Amino acid sequence: MKVLVIAAHPDDEVLGMGGTITKYVKNGDSVKIIIMATGVFSRRSSNNMNANVYEVDDSILEKMSKQVQNLQKDAIKASKIMGVKDIEFLDFPDNEMDKKSNLEITKKIESIILEFKPDIVFTHSQHDVNIDHRMIYDATITATRPFSKFKVKEVISFEVPSSTEWYFPSKFSPNMFIDINKELTTKIKALSAYKTEINDFPHPRSVEGIEVIAKHWGTVSGFNAAEAFCIVRQLKKNI
């Protein structure tokens, strides 16, 4: 089986489904990760912290470009920890994907789907505070429409802690849970590969935060630790 993970920024793939990715790899499935945007430039600073300015000078841009390269190295390291060898980086604008048309984003996703031919596509939830996440969800829904040249059997959305849960008052309402009790350690190790992205508790993007979230979804689903998903669409020939 082929699994395509479409994530906006480096670390979204681990936060959203690092345990499930690891599980697919263990099962012998082929997993490809697409990182759509840089994950750095919206910060407008050279120290990996958000600045309250929009315009920046060339020296800051140059430093941020180096940060992008380092972040991609971390993403490659994280993917290897999960057992994934196929990861691709695109260059859509960070937290400004609304500057791009849905058509442009959709066409890019379509081209990846036609080349990789996944059975399942995972992507962001539409209920998310991050504009890139919502744009990618919309484009993925369009790119995976059933009358396209290649039919994706399942489209599933994941949450990204520190983003999805802050989309008030709408909320992520999962209807699928995957047991990651044996994969939670690997997920945390992969997240820790992102040296500049991990935070201290009680931030949801922290080691303890990820453990708490996994245990919370475990209490919902009857597992010791779980990741939560929303089934967007399934195509079944037989039942």
Specify whether the CB–CB gap between 90 and 35 falls below 8 A. yes
How many C-alpha atoms does 132 have within 13 Å on its Cβ side? Answer: 23
Specify whether the CB–CB gap between 13 and 122 falls below 8 A. no
Query: Any alpha helices (H) in 144-206, and if so which ranges?
Result: 184-192
Condensed to tens digits (0 to 9), the pLDDT of residues 110-120 reads 999 999 999 99
Return the pLDDT at 148: 63
Q: Which residues of 117-142 are buried (b: 16+ CB within 10 A; e: fewer)?
A: ebebbbbbbbbbebebbbbbbbbbbb
Specify whether the CB–CB gap between 19 and 180 falls below 8 A. yes
Rounded Cα distance, 180 and 186, in Å: 10
Domains of the chain, residue spans: 2-234
| 153 contacts: CB under 8 Å, gap ≥ 6 | 119, 120, 234, 235, 236
Indicate whether this model's pTM tops 0.75: yes
Condensed to tens digits (0 to 9), the pLDDT of residues 171-216 reads 999 999 999 999 999 999 999 999 888 889 999 999 999 999 999 9
Percent residues over pLDDT 70 in the chain: 90
| Average pLDDT score over residue span 52-64 | 64
Rounded Cα distance, 106 and 40, in Å: 22
Rounded Cα distance, 141 and 121, in Å: 10
Cα 173 to Cα 47, 110, 112, 128, 158, distances in angstroms: 35, 27, 28, 12, 10
Residue 220's SS3 state is helix
| Average pLDDT score over residue span 79-103 | 95
CA-based angle 162:165:166, to the nearest 5?
Answer: 80
CATH class of 2-234: alpha beta
| Cross-sheet strand order for the sheet of 30-37 | 86-92, 30-37, 2-7, 120-124, 154-158, 226-234, 176-179
Return the pLDDT at 237: 85
Percent residues over pLDDT 90 in the chain: 79
